[in-house]
Amino acid sequence: MGSGQCPEPVYIFMISIKGLHKKAWKQQSKVRRMIEKNICYTCEKPTGSQLGHCEHGDSLDFDYHDGTWTKPRWLRTQCSGCNLFRNGKQVVFAAKLVKEYGPEILEIMLKQKHDVRKWKRDELEEIYKEYKELETTLMA
């Protein structure tokens, strides 16, 4: 190429926050289901195909941090029957958390769910990386 020619354009594709969120969530869900052996937390059947929340945070917008999203305690393997069609079976979910951690756990969760702020790219990348590494460890 001669020196007088225009350089080839360089395209940089940036994954959106929503895309990063989905990627990190999918990875977290996959690894949690591996660890929990696909056992649904609320009906105990081995048909868990999702990661369910005991309680969602105040924002369900992908661009915003959901206060319960990064707290592994609030997230458990669930089947689609419990998670989607029975509203997450929140009462059973909460009762089991109380059994595991004691009654104060609910108050902590209800406080943390208000923790809403915009995600930073590196936070989501960090979550993805963490669960990717965990997956590699589990597969070894």
Considering only residues 9 to 38 of the shown chain, the ones binding Zn ion according to CB under 5 A are none
Core vs surface per residue 20-58: b (16+ CB within 10 A) or e: bbebbbebbbebbbeebeebbbbeeeeebebbbbbbbbe
Residue 38 C-beta: closest distance to Zn ion, Å: 10
Give the number of residues in contact with Zn ion, rule: CB under 5 A.
4
| Residues in contact with Zn ion, shown as a per-residue x/- string from 98 to 117 under the rule CB under 5 A | --------------------
- For residues 40 and 54, which CB has a smaller minimum distance to Zn ion in the complex? 40
Considering only residues 36 to 95 of the shown chain, the ones binding Zn ion according to CB under 5 A are 40, 43, 79, 82
79: Cβ–Cβ under 8 A, 6 or more apart, which residues? 40, 43, 45, 47, 48, 49, 50
- For residues 54 and 79, which CB has a smaller minimum distance to Zn ion in the complex? 79
Residue 42 C-beta: closest distance to Zn ion, Å: 5
Side chain identity at 91, as an amino acid letter?
V
Q: How far apart are CA 90 and CA 126, in angstroms?
A: 29
- The residues binding Zn ion (CB under 5 A) are 40, 43, 79, 82
